[in-house]
């Protein structure tokens, strides 16, 4: 399975293309919001999410049947940005489970800035 092509379909909100990457009995968990989806529910949540999206796959790690992807997802005008880590369990080159952790991008909290620790990554 081509992870970059999967994410291209997700970012374009291309329901038909997204569907081709999943087994029929697959499921998706969004752990940060405690949501469990069927494939069709996941596609609906993704495709009906407002805005025009883009993103960059920053890292892909493959281990046996598990693929982990770290992706920066953002609205095209860059007004909103997230990082997501996706754990994809594959069977017969299709996703059978997808566990995702979404985090809002933003500044470090004030208490850490006050301590003057850490530096910007980018």
Residue 7 lies in a domain: yes
Distance CA 81, CA 62 (A): 25
Residue 122 lies in a domain: no
Residue 120 lies in a domain: no
pLDDT at 121 > cutoff 90: no
Say if CB 112 and CB 118 are below 8 A apart.
Answer: yes
Give per-residue pLDDT as tens, 38-67: 999 999 999 999 999 999 999 999 999 999
CATH number at residue 51: 3.10.450.50
Question: In a 3-state reduction of DSSP, which class is residue 7?
Answer: helix
Distance CA 24, CA 39 (A): 7
Residue 121 lies in a domain: no
Residue 55 lies in a domain: yes
Widest pairwise Cα distance in the chain: 51
pLDDT at 120 > cutoff 90: no
pLDDT at 22 > cutoff 90: yes
Q: pTM of the predicted model, to two decimals?
A: 0.90
Contacts of residue 91, defined as CB under 8 A and 6 or more positions apart, other chains included, come to 23, 65
* Model pLDDT, residue 3: 95
* Model pLDDT, residue 122: 82
Report the mean per-residue pLDDT for the chain: 95
């Amino acid at each position: 399975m081509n992870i970059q092509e999967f994410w291209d379909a997700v970012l374009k909100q291309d329901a038909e293309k997204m569907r081709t990457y999943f087994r029929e009995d697959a499921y998706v968990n969004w752990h940060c919001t405690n949501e469990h989806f069927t494939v069709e529910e996941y596609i609906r949540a993704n495709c009906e999410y407002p805005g025009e999206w883009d993103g960059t796959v920053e890292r892909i790690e493959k281990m046996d049947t598990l693929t982990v992807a770290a992706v920066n997802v953002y609205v095209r005008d860059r007004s909103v940005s997230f990082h997501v880590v996706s754990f994809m369990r594959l069977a017969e080159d299709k996703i059978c489970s997808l566990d995702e952790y979404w985090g809002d991008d933003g500044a470090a909290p004030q208490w850490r800035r006050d301590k003057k620790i850490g530096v910007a990554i980018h």
